[in-house]
Amino acid sequence: MEQIRSLIANGDLRPGDRLPAERELAKQLSISRPSIRAGLRMLVARGVLRAKHGSGTYVADGPPSLDSEQLSLLADLHGFTFDQMFEARQVLEVQVAGLAAERATAEHLATLSEEIAEMYAALDDPQQYLIHDIKFHRAIAAASENPILATLVEMVSAVMYDQRRETIGRAHDFKESVEMHQRVYRAIRSHNAEEARRSMHEHLALAHKAYRTEEGKLSKKKK
Amino acid sequence: MEQIRSLIANGDLRPGDRLPAERELAKQLSISRPSIRAGLRMLVARGVLRAKHGSGTYVADGPPSLDSEQLSLLADLHGFTFDQMFEARQVLEVQVAGLAAERATAEHLATLSEEIAEMYAALDDPQQYLIHDIKFHRAIAAASENPILATLVEMVSAVMYDQRRETIGRAHDFKESVEMHQRVYRAIRSHNAEEARRSMHEHLALAHKAYRTEEGKLSKKKK
DNA sequence: CGATAAAAATTGGCTTTACCAATAGGTGAG
DNA sequence: CTCACCTATTGGTAAAGCCAATTTTTATCG
């Protein structure tokens, strides 16, 4: 694992590059294939590599996928609550929205706009709506031009996705939600950092409230 | 991996618990031992499990260790810069300090105080100082009573540790640094959230500046 | 000559077997 | 009763073989 890691740190391996086959790596580094596989497995688990059966192993390029990532396991372990999750999002994403407003390029704005359009198109499909909701927030994080913050937002949004995916209901008012997103988008487009922070804060507060009431309904039903 | 994960999610496995031996797990789940090991390895890599040679495999209880964690690999991959790291810390830790001021218990305060004492004791040992510096910041995150935020702070501080461990010099003014920490600590102890945020912000800004000048000296020396 | 389908080679995934290394706990000597 | 040693348990590594998915090549047909 350390040998591969140093290859990446030295810049010999760039994102998207393909690694030599396991059998060849084993020969080159003079260690057995199972050991090679053990190291690769760890790096895959950490999201640094992606293995494709029959094709090869590649250095990760894009952001982590929506499914089952890093923090999600720790979520099960420590039992993260919704309140804690929204608090974390407030801490992170409000400031990130401010940075995005200061730095967003034309490409970033285009991506944001596209995701909002997708949200409109998915107003009656909660699953799809959730996906594009999260993609919108990730796009804002990308627009902050700080890959560390972008990665953190990606991780908490993965937890969010995992927790909401199964239980999302139709009780939520998506129309209002998408309008809040619009407001955040406009603030970022006009490079108004303060308004971006304020609108993101309100958006998250409202979403938090909406999920709380929805959760209340569910637990009521259980009775 | 999924089977173990569900055991944890269901609460059948609590932090600190010991898992059955690999050979026994293999029999119970009717899969080969290397496959068992593959799954365990992934969970170890993600910080959910800890394997102890000769003893057994345990569910992680405490925070991740200082060495080589999650984000550090992504740091190598995406080439995080110091400026980006301090920006991320500003976004995260300033707000976290505010939450800590609102919620810190007597135990939290005791831990914080201990770490400051350790910092005083290590004024002429940069390596030790760095360790307790980071532990102090993690203790603040723990005092926020939000495990998500605590985990995020732990991850960025691990990156910090990895990047500074080798290159830390004696040029840094540790005396001034520890006094800044004192100020943050006092604000948290008196439950003054606003002052906690302000002092944390200034502390990070100063540390950032100090590291910048130190970095400048290093690159000068290279010439 | 081009396109398409089949086959061969490449590559990651899994299993079995065997042995090494570190730790823990029991056991006997003092 | 204490301490050192020895043994059994447990995670770590290695080797060889086969399966499954993918890619690439090749051959066949239009």
A10 touches strand D (CB under 7 A): no
What's the gap between Cα B108 and its chain centre? 16
On chain A, the residues whose CB falls within 8 A of the CB of B43 are 45, 73
Nucleotides of D strand lying within 7 Å of any protein CB atom: 9-17, 20-23
Least confident interval from A47-61, A89-103, B191-205: A47-61
Distance in Å, alpha carbon of A13 to nearest chain B alpha carbon = 9
What would you report as the CA-atom Rg of chain A, rounded to the nearest whole angstrom? 20
CB pair distance less than 8 Å for B41 and A38? yes
CA B2 to C1' C16 (Å) is: 23
Q: Does B71 touch chain A (CB under 8 A)?
A: yes
CA B69 to C1' D9 (Å) is: 30
List, for residues A15-24, the tens digit of each pLDDT value. 888 998 988 8
Nucleotides of C strand lying within 7 Å of any protein CB atom: 10-18, 21-24
Which nucleotide is closest, CA of A21 to its C1'?
Answer: C11
> How many Å apart are CA A48 and CA A54, to the nearest integer?
19
Q: What is the DSSP string of A146-190?
A: -HHHHHHHHHHHHHHHHHHHTT--S-S-HHHHHHHHHHHHHHHHT
Q: Does A106 touch chain B (CB under 8 A)?
A: no
Residues 35-74 in B having a C-beta less than 7 A from any atom of strand C are 35, 38, 52-55
List, for residues B156-190, the tens digit of each pLDDT value. 998 888 888 777 666 567 888 899 999 999 999 99
pLDDT higher than 90, residue A69: no
| Alpha-carbon distances of A158 from A65, A77, A133, B71, rounded to whole Å | 8, 15, 12, 15
The list of chain B residues with pLDDT below 70 reads: 63-71, 168-172, 215-223
The model's pTM:
0.87
CATH 1.20.120.530 is the classification of domain A69-222: yes
ipTM: 0.84
Nearest to B93 by CA among B198, B192, B178: B198
CB pair distance less than 8 Å for A74 and B41? no
CB pair distance less than 8 Å for A92 and B87? no
pLDDT higher than 60, residue A85: yes
CB pair distance less than 8 Å for A77 and B15? yes
pLDDT higher than 80, residue A147: yes
CATH topology of domain B2-59: Arc Repressor Mutant, subunit A (1.10.10)
CB pair distance less than 8 Å for A74 and B42? no
The domain spans of chain B are: 2-59, 69-222
pLDDT of B145: 95
Q: What percent of chain A has pLDDT over 90?
A: 42
CB pair distance less than 8 Å for B74 and A47? yes
Residues 34-73 in A having a C-beta less than 7 A from any atom of strand C are 34, 37, 40, 51-57
pLDDT classification of A223: cutoffs 50, 70, 90: very low
**Amino acid (1-letter code) at residue B36:** I
Nearest to B207 by CA among B215, B195, B218: B215
B34 touches strand C (CB under 7 A): yes
pLDDT of B99: 98
pLDDT of B66: 56
A31 touches strand D (CB under 7 A): yes
pLDDT of A68: 55
